[in-house]
Amino acid sequence: ERIRSLVTLKSEAAPKVLARPEIRTTLVVVESPNKARTIAHFFGTPQRRIINGLSVWEVTTGDRLLAITASLGHVFDLVEREGIYGVLQLDGNFVPVYNSIKSCPHCGEQTTEETCSCGKPPERDKLTLIQALQRVAVQFDEVVIATDPDAEGEKIGYDLMAALKPFNPNIFRAEFHEVTRRAFTHALQSPREIERNLVKAQITRRILDRWVGFELSRRLWQVFDRYDLSAGRVQTPVLGWVIERTDLAREKKARITVQLADPETNAQVQLSFEHENLSFARKLFERLEQAQVTVVDAGEEIVNPPPPYNTGTLLADAGSFASATSVMDALQDLFERGLITYHRTDSVRVSDAGLKVAEELIKERYDPSLFQPRRYGTEGAHECIRPTRPLTEDDLRLWVSAGRVTLENQRLALRLYGMIVRRFLASQMKPAKVRKAKVVLQLGEWQQEWDVIAEVIEDGFHRVAPLRVLRVSPAMKVVDKQIRFVSKVMPFTQGSLIEEMRQRGLGRPSTYAKIVQTLLERGYVVERNGFLFATDLGRRVYQWLRLRFPEFADEALTRDLEEKGDKIEAGELDYQLVLRELRHSRLFAQR
């Protein structure tokens, strides 16, 4: 007992040795090198090393040693020559067969086969990247897969997990919707497992696209003796819309523009109206100077701001000055640089972080009293497209000029960023209070009415997203006029076609631009002066498909398959049932 007491006293009197903090080593895999580089620079100046061509950025965060690298998108895809276009039937189940993705530097094609369509073997194989990742993974305590927050990103994450699990059992998934230090750190501290239902939904959509596309395309090759033709479960119905709109655009209507002026104040406004009876429109146009103008006060009205952008609405607005593909490329660049939230989304929800960004910008750049936060829904992980920090378009332009940020398509990216910021700020401002007026143009028994905003009483969001205000007065008269004969229905633009897809439930945010681009590349559609027109080839292909396989040229089947994909994501439907239903459809009747 005496010895024990002495030992206890000595141990209590001995100086304490502080335990060294434990540093955890983490390998983070994202999709693109730009995103990897952006994240690494959140924590200082990273060290870069190259392993078998794989760039790894290493940096410390205090309690972690982070190594961040990129998968360069998908690493595996369906093979083409096994089973039914890469899907085997085993014991009553459908089993997809995957292989590493290879790219050919000669023709630019990606394939999973040993020879591409140009007849030469591909020189770049994602298997090399996988092997490099495997060699790196064993050096770390854990692997965090931080691919994009959608079904495609989940499938990439699943493939990476399957490839790296034998080399490191500690693999987790991190999800974040904006490339900022706060969002990344939060995702790193809140890891989750791979969401298998999302993976199943992606696999199902990929197989459906492969089966419908390959089988219909094979038949088109035989009939038209051309191997550059294709069809698809979304592509074909959308082609039908363009054909229908092209035909409708040939029918004409009159568009008459009148200029009204107040002789006392010299205030002038322009108003337009349309008439489908061309003969009546011509006669009316000749006598418009005799028309009586009446302006009636329609009282005050509250105008609410529009919600923030999602993929469909942003592509629709940007379609007037840029192609859908170039817009998506510029948005990808802005996202990877940490400037906007994830841009492939159908949500308009605003997170707590988004509300703080809006509040700071509105209070600093406008007027604190204008701020009125709106969430636009509270459920779901996805968010609207918004700026990730309180940075205006002018601020970003200065960053670019100073070399702080590099943008690949600088002019387009800055324009899109400005649109995103203005729309987002408007959505978080008070409504505008306006005075409305009714303008009536009357000639005999004919009359035309317009409801216009005559005055903005309280600015609200009008400060950042100006409303169209027309200073009308009862003393106005017709002082000028113009008549044009235009299409009854305007042809689609890339933006309006994507908006149509969004409204009618075809395609997904990640595929909108690709579908339009495919129609153009196949020669089914041409673009003239920003409008899309069906070609003779597009008509002949669509007519043949409509005659032989009407269900696959109709949007109802495609919409049904999209809805089933959503149910698979939610865990409400077995993906094998969806594949079995298509396998036993008329499409494969000859197999």
Asked if 347 and 377 sit in the same domain, the reply is yes
Asked if 166 and 25 sit in the same domain, the reply is yes
Asked if 245 and 380 sit in the same domain, the reply is no
Report the pLDDT value the prediction gives residue 131, as an integer from 0 to 100: 94
Report the pLDDT value the prediction gives residue 21, as an integer from 0 to 100: 56
H or E segment and range at residue 181: helix 181-189
Reported confidence tier of residue 3, pLDDT bands at 50, 70, 90: very low
Report the pLDDT value the prediction gives residue 120, as an integer from 0 to 100: 78
Distance, CA of 190 to CA of 173 (rounded, Å): 9
Asked if 300 and 319 sit in the same domain, the reply is no
Report the pLDDT value the prediction gives residue 23, as an integer from 0 to 100: 86
1 has pLDDT over 60? no
Convert the pLDDT of each residue in 416-437 to its tens digit.
999 999 999 999 999 999 999 9
Convert the pLDDT of each residue in 466-513 to its tens digit.
999 999 998 899 999 999 999 989 999 999 999 999 999 888 888 999
Reported confidence tier of residue 312, pLDDT bands at 50, 70, 90: very high
Asked if 263 and 182 sit in the same domain, the reply is no
Report the pLDDT value the prediction gives residue 320, as an integer from 0 to 100: 87
Reported confidence tier of residue 10, pLDDT bands at 50, 70, 90: very low
Convert the pLDDT of each residue in 84-97 to its tens digit.
999 999 998 999 99
Convert the pLDDT of each residue in 134-152 to its tens digit.
999 999 999 999 999 999 9
Taken in order 306, 307, 312, 315, is the CA torsion positive or negative? positive
User: Of 52-56, 103-107, 406-410, which range is least confident?
Assistant: 103-107
User: Of 15-24, 71-80, 294-303, which range is least confident?
Assistant: 15-24
Asked if 353 and 405 sit in the same domain, the reply is yes
CATH number of the domain to which 145 belongs: 3.40.50.140
Residue 74: how many CB atoms within 10 A of its CB? 19
**Count of residues in the chain:** 591
Provide, rounded to the nearest whole percent, the portion of the chain with pLDDT above 90: 82
Q: Is 342 a catalytic residue?
A: yes
Asked if 329 and 401 sit in the same domain, the reply is yes
- E strands of 133-232, at which residues? 142-145, 171-173
Taken in order 361, 366, 371, 375, is the CA torsion positive or negative? negative
| Chain mean pLDDT for the chain | 91
CATH number of the domain to which 388 belongs: 1.10.290.10
Report the pLDDT value the prediction gives residue 446, as an integer from 0 to 100: 94
Structural domains in the chain (count): 4
Asked if 292 and 340 sit in the same domain, the reply is no
List CB contacts of 95: < 8 A, sequence separation 6 or more: 83, 87, 88, 89
Asked if 66 and 151 sit in the same domain, the reply is yes
295-317 burial, b for 16+ CB within 10 Å, e for fewer? beeeeeeeeebebbbbbbbbbbb
Domain extent for 386: 311-427
Q: How deeply is 325 buried, as exposed, middle or buried, from its count of CB atoms within 10 A (0-12, 13-18, 19+)?
A: middle
Report the pLDDT value the prediction gives residue 381, as an integer from 0 to 100: 63
Asked if 407 and 439 sit in the same domain, the reply is no
Asked if 112 and 259 sit in the same domain, the reply is no
4 has pLDDT over 50? no
Q: From 439, 456, 487, give the residue that closes a domain.
A: 487
571 has pLDDT over 50? yes
Report the pLDDT value the prediction gives residue 117, as an integer from 0 to 100: 72
Report the pLDDT value the prediction gives residue 37, as an integer from 0 to 100: 93
Convert the pLDDT of each residue in 256-302 to its tens digit.
999 999 988 888 999 999 999 999 999 999 999 999 999 999 999 99
CATH number of the domain to which 481 belongs: 2.70.20.10
Asked if 354 and 464 sit in the same domain, the reply is no
Q: What single string gives the DSSP state of each residue in 289-310?
A: GG-EEEEEEEEEEEEPPPPPB-
Report the pLDDT value the prediction gives residue 587, as an integer from 0 to 100: 85
Q: Which residue out of 342, 417, 512, 542 is catalytically annotated?
A: 342
